[in-house]
Structure formats: C-alpha cells, structure tokens
Amino acid sequence: MPFDWDDMRVFLAVARGESLSKAGRQLKLDPATVGRRIARFEDRLGAALFARSAQGYVLNNEGERLLVHAMRAESAMAQAGEELHGQAGQLSGTVRIGAPDGSANYLLPQVCAEICDKNPGLEVQIVALPRVFNLSKREADMAITLSRPTAGRLVAQKIADYKLHLAATGRYLQAHEPIKQVQDLKRHRIIGYIPDMIFDKEVDYLGQTGVDHVTLGSNSVAVQVNWVRQGAGLAIVHDFCMPTVPDIHRVLADKISLSRTFYLVRHLDDQRVDRLNRFAELLVKGMKREITRLESQSNDA
C-alpha cells in the first residue's frame, strides 16, 4: 500500500519520543490526536507498530522494520527540500549535535559560532551529556564520541587525537606535599569521574595512573575542571581545557600522559543529505584546528 508522508512523520515522532505527549509537542498536536493517528495508521497497515504500556510507546519488531524505511524517506525528503530551495550555497535549518561535555564546553561553542557566522540561516543545538546518543531515535543529527560504534546503521569519521595530563594549580601544589612519583598521589586529593557513572571505557583515565580512589567526583568534565581551578585537587585534564585555568601545571608529565580520539558519528542514511555532509566537513575541520590551537597554548602549563 502507498504510504502517506504525514503518517510517517507522526510515526517517527512517536518512535523517537516513545510517548504521545513528546510526539505531540514536536508535531504541535494534541496527544490524543497523535494516538488516533497512530491507531489509524496501524489499522491501514494491518499490523501493530508499538508495544504500549504505562511507560509509553516502544517499537515492536514490525515498528523497528518500518523505522528503517521511514528514516530513509525522511532523509530523501530533506534532501529534496534543500535542492528545491537552492541551498547549495549557505547552510540553513537546524543541526543538533550530541557530545560529551568536555568537547561541548571547550571546543564546540567557538567552532559552531564560527560556522554560524558564515551561515546566518543556520541554527546549531549542542546537547552536552556524558553518555552515548541514540541517532536512530534522532536525539541528535550527529554525535561526537570517544569510541567507534560497534552496532547499528552508523558511520564514524575520525576527527582528531587529543592529549590529557594530570594537572593542578600552583596554589594547590604549593600547599601540599611534593609529588615526585606516582605513589605520592595516594596522599593527595584526586578529582575524577564518579566510578559507576563512567559511560565509556575511554574516560576511565585514572585506571592508567594506579589511583583507585576519587575524593571529588563528578560525571561532568566542566565540574572537574572547575574544582581544579579552585585549587581543590589534582585531575586528569584535557590539554585543550588547560588554557581556561589560570596557574595550571602538569604533574608527573613524563609518567602520566594520555591520548584519546574524537569521532564524528552519523546515521548511515544521512550521508545522502548534502546539508549535513557540508556541516560535518566544517565541524571536523574546525575541531581539528581548535584542538591544535588550544593544545599549543597549553604547552607552557
């Protein structure tokens, strides 16, 4: 049977929001109307698409199969709209990026601002969360990750490597016992991730230092860096964050030096959307340039 694109839009909104109310807010429809539209769509298909419960609407096997085709249709519609409106020059519309808060706080704001300066019709949304984003449910158009995805219809592009070092302010170091070897860290206050909230093995930094206890813990890089700024202790700090912290100094740099990689992850079907391809190219170039710039500034730390 032929599909109505408007029905597909409603289906996608419910699939991504997993509730009628969330879908209704996105579509600017009453939740009851969304529910009737989904029920009517399922009747026409002759198949249920969702498992309904008090917690919401979750795709069943039939819904998961339809989701793949609906997303392809959505990408095709977006690309057709761009071509018809002659968007081959400047970028426009909204792009949402999911990112861990280290890159979201210290790299993306200036990179995305520069892109928007050159593309006044573009809107960029940065969702800073310390977790992996679900691109299939369109939590974001693209995501910055620390590991390559191992499942799903996703493609990953390496952005750049970056460095991290153990660091503290001069104020903290002057007020506490000297640190000459790794074993000395046991007598110092350590700042790091809350152990049971480590969302990716790549952020298990302290596992490489021999330190087994975090005195000041947060799931946010920004909070950790602010603790360092206040002279509260030592932390593994991204080199690209260091220029934002006055009087910061690397500690045991010859013994504790880490390297990680940022990846840009996108849904496979979005590779046919020219607008997102061009934005991704600008984003990768900008992040590479900004990491190089900030790390060179941090070399005096």
> 277: how many CB neighbours lie within 10 A of its CB?
13
Domains and CATH numbers, the chain: 5-84 (1.10.10.10), 93-160+261-300 (3.40.190.10), 161-259 (3.40.190.10)
What's the confidence (pLDDT) of residue 199? 75
> 170: how many CB neighbours lie within 10 A of its CB?
12
Tokens (6 digits) for 91? 């970028």
d(C-alpha 149, C-alpha 82), whole Å: 29
Could you tell me the CA-to-CA distances from 203 to 132, 220, 262 in Å, in that order?
13, 11, 12
Secondary structure (3-state) at 95: strand
* DSSP states along 226-288: HHHHTT--EEEEETTTGGGSTTEEESSTTT-EEEEEEEEEEEGGGGG-HHHHHHHHHHHHHHH
What's the confidence (pLDDT) of residue 131? 59
The amino acid at residue 132 is: V
- Identify any residues that bridge with 190 across adjacent strands, giving them in sequence order: 234
Helical (H) or strand (E) element with 159: strand 154-169
d(C-alpha 281, C-alpha 153), whole Å: 20
Could you tell me the CA-to-CA distances from 281 to 17, 115, 121, 159, 212 in Å, in that order?
29, 11, 18, 10, 40
- Closest by CA position to 298, among listed 108, 180, 167, 155: 167
Structure-token match 């690309």, residue found: 79
d(C-alpha 72, C-alpha 270), whole Å: 8
d(C-alpha 102, C-alpha 239), whole Å: 11
- Identify any residues that bridge with 156 across adjacent strands, giving them in sequence order: 265
Output the CA angle 171-130-259, nearest 5 degrees. Answer: 65
Tokens (6 digits) for 48? 């249920």
- Closest by CA position to 192, among listed 200, 203, 179: 203
d(C-alpha 184, C-alpha 120), whole Å: 53
- Identify any residues that bridge with 51 across adjacent strands, giving them in sequence order: 58
What's the confidence (pLDDT) of residue 212? 75
What's the confidence (pLDDT) of residue 85? 54
> 159: how many CB neighbours lie within 10 A of its CB?
22
Q: Give average pLDDT by consecutive 10-residue segment, the chain, 301 residues.
A: 78 88 89 91 91 88 86 71 59 89 95 95 86 64 90 88 96 96 92 85 78 89 96 96 96 94 89 86 97 88 53
CB 245 within 8 A of CB 229: yes
Tokens (6 digits) for 147? 């590991």
At residue 148, φ and ψ (nearest 5 deg) are -70, 140
What's the confidence (pLDDT) of residue 216? 96
d(C-alpha 118, C-alpha 187), whole Å: 51
